[in-house]
Amino acid sequence: MSICKHHLRTLQTWLLIILLSPISAFAMPSLRQQQTADGYEQWRARSEALTDDLLKDAGQLSPLRRAVMLARLAQRWSTDDQEHARKWFQNAVELVEQASSKETADERRERIMAARIVLKNVARFDQNLTLRLVKILTPNRQTSKDERSENAEWLMNSATDLVAVDTTRANELAGAALRIGPPNDLASFLVAMRGKDPKLADAMFTNALSFAKQQPFPVQLLNTLAYAAFPRQRGYGASTPVPPENLRGELLQLEINFLKAYPINDDNRGSMCSCVSGFIAPLASEFDRLLPTESVVVQQAITKCEPVTPPLDSQPTEQSLHTSEDFLQAAASEKNEGVRTRFEFRAATVANAAKDYDLAFRILDGMTKQQRESMGDSWESFRWDWAAQAAIDYYQHGRLDEMNVVLNTVPANVEAIAKIAFLGRLREPNDAEPAPLVQILNEALIEMRRSTMPDLDKYNWYLAVLRPTVKYQPAEASDVLKAAVSSLNKAKDRKKLETADFSDGIAEPLLAMDEYVVKDSIASITLVETRANLRLVLLGASLRRMKSDQN
């Protein structure tokens, strides 16, 4: 009987283990999967709600601004909802294709600008829509030289973006840019393409050389090709891949032909010597290596251009000054107030670079009212900027008393700005004591409420202080956001921000706040396009969170 009881207890124990095993081994991963699924659905719903609001905003914009907004909206959804993205892209292209028979020059410029932005967003998504936009950007009799160059630049930038996903289409788009007008940044495309498909990169390099040969004064192409062919000599970096030697030699020969076609004289010295110093002289050793029999042409050009910019009388004196004391002594003996101000500012700059903050601030604060006014807004900008920099240095070294002194002795009208800049730039360690930072934040918020700075400036600084507020004083975040929106709506010159994009960094604190508080605050922005642009940034961040939870 005791043996049976023992077997019974053993059986009960194993049954308990078996029954509990699924919970410990399998239920927890299932719970995590459910949480992930719930997170995905929440971010999906939030993204769709933002999209609905964006579409309402777009309906209130002019047709061309609506096209831009639809293209940006479509680009953000292009990998997660291709059906809707295609519809929005098509609508955007149709809107920029519409040109009335009475279209003015200004209206045409606006339409071309909208087409460029739509192109940048659609290029990766659809080839046919891209070709329709290239047609709009192809020059006609109304196209000015500057417009041709700008169109070519937008096409080339789009081609460079496209290299990562479709080298063939990217090469075709770059070819269209080259035909329309020599773009300034062909080098970035060639470097990107060489990393993906060297043969296509060589073909485009050869194509560009042919275009350069056909142009009477091919300065732009020669300059950008020199970057692509000799990246180390032009500052790109030694690891950047380069074309074969024969193509590099062909480019150098083209530059020598250019020097022969335009010999330097008194009439063209300025423009030609600019070319020599810009893209020929940096390659002098390469001319010696690849074209030794003709490199004398390059040396003669460099020699002719050497005396073209004689030093100014003041330069030797200023070049001989190195320390703050040197500049202060020069300032003391200078009668010209403008020169004296420059010397004193240089002295302060040297002191700040050496982290002698006390001296730097004594020099700045010692300037007269006239000297400060002669510097425009620069004096105030340097004063709060250097104070924020010094405060970070003091904080990182545990010198909290000096940190507080340097922030509290900034002129009252920029004290809040200095504190906000300090909080925004600070990357404190994980074990940092937050109390000193909370105090500075509270002081900055109080000073912002009292500030008489222009409303547009106040709006920008309220947005800047939003991130540290969410981090240190989350209960205050909704009031800060509302104050930012209120300042924007009251600003007299707010129209200049209507088409401005928001930094992606603004999304993080907004997504950390109560969703409905943020929704209501954004809805109260009276500038439609500003409101929509902020929603676009939030949508992008929300979609990234959605994908993260999906994976």
Q: What gap in Å lies between CA 221 and CA 156, rounded to an integer? A: 13
What pLDDT does residue 28 have? Answer: 43
- Predicted confidence at residue 101, as pLDDT, reads 86
Decide if 83 contacts 35 (C-beta within 8 A): no
- How many Cα neighbours within 13 Å face the side chain of 414? 18
Which residue do the tokens 């404190």 mark?
Answer: 428
Alpha helices (H) along 60-81: 63-77
Distance of CA 10 to the CA centre of its chain: 69
CA dihedral 88, 89, 92, 93 (to 10 degrees): -150
CA distance 79 to 546: 12
Q: What is the pLDDT of residue 428?
A: 80
Q: With a cut of 70, list the residues of the chain below it in pLDDT.
A: 1-37, 307-320, 430, 551
Count Cβ neighbours within 10 Å for each residue of 210-224 and write b for 16 or more, e otherwise: eebeeeeebbbbbbb
Check residue 427 and give its pLDDT. 87
pTM, to two decimals: 0.81
Listed in sequence order, the residues at least 6 apart from 109 whose beta carbon sits closer than 8 Å to its beta carbon are: 147
| Residue-wise pLDDT tens digits, 172-212 | 999 999 999 888 889 999 999 999 999 999 999 999 999 99
**HEC string of 166-235?**
CHHHHHHHHHHHHHHCCCCCHHHHHHHHHHHCHHHHHHHHHHHHHHHHHCCCCHHHHHHHHHHHCCCCCC
Q: In this predicted structure, what is the pLDDT of residue 202?
A: 96
d(CA 46, CA 39): 11
3-state helix vs strand vs coil in the chain, percent to 5: 75, 0, 25
| Rg of the chain over all Cα atoms, to the nearest angstrom | 31
Residues 258 and 218: beta-carbon distance below 8 Å? yes
Q: Say if residues 256 and 288 touch (Cβ distance below 8 Å).
A: no
Place of tokens 């993906």: 196
Of 155, 165, 179, 244, whose CA–CA distance to 205 is shortest? 244
Distance CA(330)–CA(345), nearest Å, equals 12
Specify whether the backbone of 355 is left (phi greater than 0), alpha (psi in -120 to 50) or beta.
left
**What's the rounded Cα separation, in Å, for the pair 231 and 228?**
6
Residue ranges covered by each domain of the chain: 244-307, 311-376
| Structure tokens, 411 | 């002129």
pLDDT at 307: 57
- Write down the residue that tokens 């180390």 correspond to: 232
> What is the per-residue burial (b if ≥16 Cβ within 10 Å, else e) of 403-417?
bbebbeebbeebbbb
Q: What is the pLDDT of residue 240?
A: 86
pLDDT of 73 reads 97
**In terms of C-beta density within 10 A (0-12 exposed, 13-18 middle, 19 or more buried), how is residue 186 classed?**
buried
Between the alpha carbon of residue 458 and those of residues 384, 422, 463, 484, the distances in Å are 15, 17, 9, 7
Q: DSSP assignment of 465-490, as one string?
A: HHHHHHHH-GGGHHHHHHHHHHHHHH
